[in-house]
Amino acid sequence: MKKFPKSFLWGAATSAPQSEGHSSLNGKSPSTWDKWYELAPEKFQKDQGPEHTTNMYELYHEDIKRMKEIHMNSYRTSIAWTRLLPDGKTINQEAVDFYRDYFKELQENGVKPIINLFHFDMPWWLMEKGGWETRASVDAFAYYAKTCFELFGDLVDDWTTFNEPMVHVECGYLYGYHYPAIHDFKKAVQVGYHTLMAHTLAVKAFKEGSHSGKIGIILNVSPCYPRSQSKEDLQAAELADLLNTKSFLDPAVLGTIPAGLIDCLRQNQLLPVTEANDLEEIKQNTVDFIGMNYYQPSRVQAPKEVNKPAVSPADFYDHYDWPDKKINPYRGWEIYPEALYDVAMMIKNEYKNILWYVSENGMGVADEERFMDASGMIQDDYRIEFMEDHLTQLHKGIEAGSNCFGYHSWTFIDCWSWLNGYKNRYGFYQLDLNNDQRRLKKSGLWFKELVDQNGLK
Ligand code: BG6
């Protein structure tokens, strides 16, 4: 039996915009997702927009029972900035009542809430003023964060500022998957920098408020493996790591911006506009813990062509197909559980062995109904195998001394996923889109046993 540490957190993650619904009701103002859907619904898989979620806003009482049914002892979701502060300043009392009741009910049912502040859902009113491109967004976010800590600090111990900050930077300003879907490396760097400062000042607000809990950040991690040990391939892997992971991980945990990243940005005339005290703020306001979302690694090699000036991070590295690659045939992503051990060791050796947890890990599957048996249960053995393999590697990392305190799957109930809608299913519960019914999958039963044993057989 591979036992996990005592009081290990077992649970699942989602976000407010992907679970609450009621996206234009109960005093909520639009986020970029609500507006984008209004402007261009055809961009969204099967025309399904942010209103089309599991309706947690109304159904949290019964869905928390479902969490208990599979013995989840923790759950991560987010607060919708646009619900709590529809104009950025005025508190929406209905939102306060909703979140307070929701978090209280989680606590009372033995499900520890981990509450995140931003999961890709930029308020429209702020976007119209330039969004993360403007320094004003940093102060607006810090104000929102402080308001959340004050309103819900008695019910929430563990907070995180951002989910996958690099994803909203890349998808919004480089690759076209999030609003405003522009392609501008220089703006992307500025947006990333403001996000970092927004995170930093939120941590500062938390510390100044002398809250009793812990504050962290959730990052997407794709360990970069070079094609060869040649100087060029190694450099490509190093740059990919700096741009994608260390750009947030270093400042968040170590309080510094990596010198290699600054050099690279300087050489390419990409340095952002900063303010005098920023570096000191970053140094003073490091996190208590980190969450790592891990799905797949990055296989990189030296780029064939180098654009001068660089127009995207892809100018610094190319991806290549690893010959031994195992693929999730239902989502197309590589399956490489060993990377989770490497992540555990990286945190132990390079990041002060800080407390951390796996904040997302899971297997997306398209057309999953095809795996339903006669009784109506999805037989997702592939997901069980995926999680067992990843947990085996995580366990090895913990045995080797890495300070991991939990594992959250993505996700609890199949959820709406931005432009992809319901294409890729991840949940322990299947959502039937015809009638919104939730049905337990085989992996949910497996998870319950895992929690009961606090380990793998
Ligand atoms: C994670 C995000 O990285 O991937 C989630 O935090 C997202 O918000 C999930 O839903 C799954 O993505 P996809 O594209 O497979 O539906």
Q: What does the pLDDT look like over 275-325, one tens digit per residue?
A: 999 999 999 999 999 999 999 999 999 998 777 778 888 899 999 999 999
The total number of structural domains that make up the chain: 1
pLDDT of residue 210: 86
**What residues line ligand 1, using a CB cutoff of 6 Å?**
15, 18, 163-164, 220, 293, 360, 364, 410, 417, 420, 424
Query: What range defines the domain where residue 366 resides?
Result: 2-456
pLDDT of residue 420: 98
- The tokens describing 453, both together, are 């044993």
Residue nearest to atom 10 of ligand 1 (CA): 417
In this structure, the dihedral spanned by the alpha carbons of residues 434, 333, 339 and 320, taken in order and rounded to 10 degrees, is: -170
- What is the Å distance from ligand 1's center to 328 Cα? 15
pLDDT of residue 313: 86
| Residue 315 to residues 175, 303, 319, Cα–Cα distance (Å) | 14, 7, 11
Mean pLDDT over 219-239 rounds to 97
By most ligand atoms within 8 Å of CB, the mutation choice from 244, 412, 418 for ligand 1 is 418
pLDDT of residue 141: 99
Q: What share of the chain in percent tops pLDDT 70?
A: 100
Give tens-digit pLDDT for 41-81: 999 999 999 999 999 999 999 999 999 999 999 999 999 99
- What is the Å distance from ligand 1's center to 67 Cα? 20
Residue nearest to atom 12 of ligand 1 (CA): 417
Residue 440: pLDDT over 90: yes
Give tens-digit pLDDT for 95-151: 999 999 999 999 999 999 999 999 999 999 999 999 999 999 999 999 999 999 999
- Closest ligand 1 atom to residue 163 Cα is 6
Residues facing 365 on adjacent strands: 425
Whether the model pTM is above 0.95: yes
Query: Residue 434 class from Cβ within 10 Å (0-12 exposed, 13-18 middle, 19+ buried)?
Result: exposed
Residue 405: pLDDT over 80: yes
By most ligand atoms within 8 Å of CB, the mutation choice from 417, 418, 431 for ligand 1 is 417
pLDDT of residue 311: 86
Give tens-digit pLDDT for 175-195: 999 999 999 999 999 999 999
Residue nearest to atom 9 of ligand 1 (CA): 417
pLDDT of residue 18: 98
pLDDT of residue 308: 73
- What is the Å distance from ligand 1's center to 269 Cα? 32
Catalytic machinery residues: 164, 360
Give tens-digit pLDDT for 143-184: 999 999 999 999 999 999 999 999 999 999 999 999 999 999
The domain that holds 222 is classified in CATH as 3.20.20.80
Task: Kindly indicate the confidence band of residue 27, based on its pLDDT and cuts at 50, 70 and 90.
Answer: very high
Determine phi and psi for 109, rounding to 5 degrees: -100, 15
Mean pLDDT of the chain: 97
pLDDT of residue 306: 75
- Closest ligand 1 atom to residue 410 Cα is 9
pLDDT of residue 15: 98
- What is the Å distance from ligand 1's center to 252 Cα? 22
Residue nearest to atom 11 of ligand 1 (CA): 417
Residue 422: pLDDT over 80: yes
- What is the Å distance from ligand 1's center to 279 Cα? 32
